[in-house]
Amino acid sequence: MQRVAQRVELKPSNITSVHAWNAWVKSRTSKAFQEKSDWYRGLRRAQIPHTTSRKGMHRLAHEMKSNTDDPKKINRSKVWIAGHTHSDGRPVRPEFADTFEQIQTLDSQMDSTSGDNIREDAMSKILGKDKPGRVRDLYKLFHDLAGNKGNPGDMASQNEVGDVNRGVKCQILAWYANEDVVVTEGEFCSADKDYKIGKISIGRNAAAVIIKTVLDIEAADEASAREQVSPREAVMRRSSESTSYSTSTTKSPKQKCILLDFNNSGCTIAEGKVCSTNPTDLVHHVPLGENVSKVWVEVVKIGEAAVWRPNSEVVYISDALGTTVAWPNDKLLFL
């Protein structure tokens, strides 16, 4: 009874119900809650806190590269070590001193090109592979990286998408290659479908990226390499081949068609007529491009379905009734 009275005396004034207070105290002093609390405390103790404060890893890497004669030597491991040690070189926690020493030793033994692949650098070998949903530092990528890279040629972009210092560093893979081939490096800006580049929304399943570095201008897949073509030529060639296949004699202008949902749901969202398949024709002031048709929307089946290229006036397919939209050829069924 004495313990119960003591608990009641500790009740805050803003809690009027004694029953609610006792129930809360009971839940917080239970064995299950204590086990859960100990588990989370163990996770926090296992974390290695950084010492960059509000500066962040990206600005730290920029400063380190600016203060050295050879910026290429500033790899991910060196930035991580600098961001988790005090100004006098002490590790942020003494219990992690062995981990820091292992990373430094392994990094010094590896050549300069080994640090380019985050799956093979010193940090990945000592700390393990990055877990999905976590960002270990500025080198978090959106895709698995290719193992080797060519000699980079720096090329800063004059894109309108914003301040380069705010982006997460990423690598862009060649979509046409059978294997993961890193073509360029850049900085992620936004994945918001309403984000605009040159007054055009990027749409769904896309991202705005500032191109910072071209890794291999002449990168190509195995078939293209045998023919000595550049990535741009390979892309245009494949686009032309697929376009010639999709724009066969069965798809003449003004032919009726069914518009399928571009998110691969298989739903019929509208019916219309093909007006043009010319890549240079404009729809809402934007060229069609390869493998795209200009379609006049006559009947709407699912009004809330999103259009493939939204703009300020046409966002849903119901907005496009009685006008034209651009639609990918592989999402059209011809009647």
**Over the stretch 57-107, which tens digit does the pLDDT of each residue have?**
888 888 888 988 888 888 888 888 888 888 888 888 888 888 888 888 888
- CB neighbourhood size of 201 (10 A): 17
> How many C-beta neighbours within 10 Å does residue 25 have?
15
Average pLDDT value for residue range 198-212:
76
The H or E element containing residue 47 is none
More reliable by pLDDT, 151 or 189: 189
- Helix, strand, coil shares, percent, the chain, to 5: 35, 20, 45
CA dist 46 and 43 (Å) reads 5
Alpha helix stretches (DSSP H) within the chain: 2-9, 18-28, 31-46, 56-66, 76-83, 97-109, 122-127, 222-226, 231-246
> Measured between alpha carbons, how far is 272 from 321 in angstroms, rounded to an integer?
9
Q: For the segment 31-69, what is each residue's pLDDT rounded down to a tens digit? A: 999 999 999 888 888 888 888 888 888 888 888 889 888
Q: How confident is the model at residue 297 (pLDDT cuts 50, 70, 90)?
A: very high
Question: How high is the pLDDT of residue 118?
Answer: 65
CA 247 to chain centroid, in Å, comes to 33
* Domain ranges (residues) in the chain: 2-41, 56-127, 141-246, 256-334
CA atoms within 13 Å, Cβ hemisphere of 137: 27
On the question of pLDDT at 326 being above 70, the answer is: yes
Give the span between the Cα atoms of 62 and 74, in whole angstroms.
Answer: 9
pLDDT at residue 104, as a whole number = 85
CA-wise closest residue to 14 among 24, 27, 5 = 24
Tell me the C-alpha to C-alpha distance, in Å, between residue 134 and each of 12, 45, 272.
Answer: 38, 17, 45
Residue identified by tokens 């509000």 is 54
User: Phi first, then psi: what are they for 219, rounded to 5°?
Assistant: -65, 140
Q: What pLDDT is attached to residue 304?
A: 86
Cβ atoms of 251 and 258 closer than 8 Å: no
Q: What is the pTM (predicted TM-score) of this model? A: 0.35
Residues 196 and 159: their CA atoms lie apart, in Å, by 11
Please compute the mean of the pLDDT values over residues 295-319 and round it to a whole number. 88
Question: Residue 224 — pLDDT band, cuts 50, 70, 90?
Answer: very low
| Percentage of the chain exceeding pLDDT 70 | 71
Query: What residues contact residue 334 under an 8 Å CB cut-off, 6+ apart?
Result: 250, 251, 255, 256, 257, 258, 274
Give the integer Cα–Cα distance in Å for 323 and 316: 12
Q: What is the DSSP letter of 112?
A: T
